[in-house]
Copies of this chain bind each other. A is one copy, B any other.
Amino acid sequence: MAEAGLTRADLERAAPREVRRAIREGRWRSNTKRLALGHHQANVTIVPERHAFDFMRFCFNNPKALPLIDVTEPGDPVPRKAAPDADLRTDVAEYLVLRDGQVAERARSLDKVWRKDHVAFLTGCNLSMDRVMLEAGMPLPHLQSEEAFPAQYRSSIACVPAGAFKGPLVVSLRPVPDALVVPLIELTGRYELSHGAPVHVGDPRRIGIADLSKVDWGRENAIAPEHTPMFWACGITAQAAAIASRIPEMIVHAPGRMFVTDLIVREAIS
């Protein structure tokens, strides 16, 4: 749990800029669950400008999976709305460079990769809800043990395509005590930037998931007795589209290593 002297508990209470600094300086390399609790965490998707309008429409067409939090001007690595003192080339713990839909490179920073035609998109993430979940007393596995992390699956639901981008909706599983199914739908439904209400509740086969033990991303979560599997749209949908559509170049955060923004989840007023 400790990394270079830092514990998850330390960064749980830290301001977003402290978390970003720890990541930038290599003092935190693990996933970002519970970090800077209560602030929006974001999926990072970077594409060349020639694909950026297509990808922005793909976000607009699939808002439950890719709720747009920020988009940069071409070549500008600063997310001016979400974290004006951040740098998207350095403030994520690990990046994946996908070429033609395959992971071609893993990188600790984009200093040697970033170009002036790159555009970065930040989209919402379910980990943003960690504080809301804790305060509501929702006993989700990934909040209770260091090892646990949500499992993500390709579903049989197709995204609405846009230009070069098409692919399956990726969903994130949370096993939920039966009595909390309805309250959790109502609670998450209020947070559109964190994927809102689930896209499916119950039998995974109804959305094309035959075997919960075969996770596509994340870690398997056992479904305990008197628990119901609930599925939320997931930001990994962007990566799945790069793979399905063989997008020439897309740079993303490594799974679970999100970008931590300055935006407060409970302050959604525009």
Contacts and interface: CB of A to CB of B under 8 A. Distances in A.
A63 B69 CA distance: 12
A270 B192 contact: yes
Contacts of A81: 61
Interface stretch (A49-57, A108-116, A136-144): A49-57
A57 B64 CA distance: 19
B64 A68 contact: no
Contacts of A60: 56, 68, 71
A163 to B, nearest CB: 7
Contacts of A53: 49, 52-53, 56
A71 B162 CA distance: 10
A31 to B, nearest CB: 28
Contacts of A57: 56, 71, 73
A52 B57 CA distance: 10
A196 interface: yes
Given A52-B53, A56-B53, A57-B73, A63 B196 contact: no
B162 A73 contact: yes
A63 B270 CA distance: 9
Nearest to A61: B81
Nearest to A55: B53
Interface string A49-86: 10011001100110110001001011000000100000
Interface in A27-63: 49, 52-53, 56-57, 60-61, 63
15 contacts: A53-B53, A53-B56, A56-B56, A56-B57, A56-B60, A57-B71, A60-B71, A61-B81, A63-B270, A64-B270, A73-B162, A73-B163, A74-B163, A192-B270, A196-B270
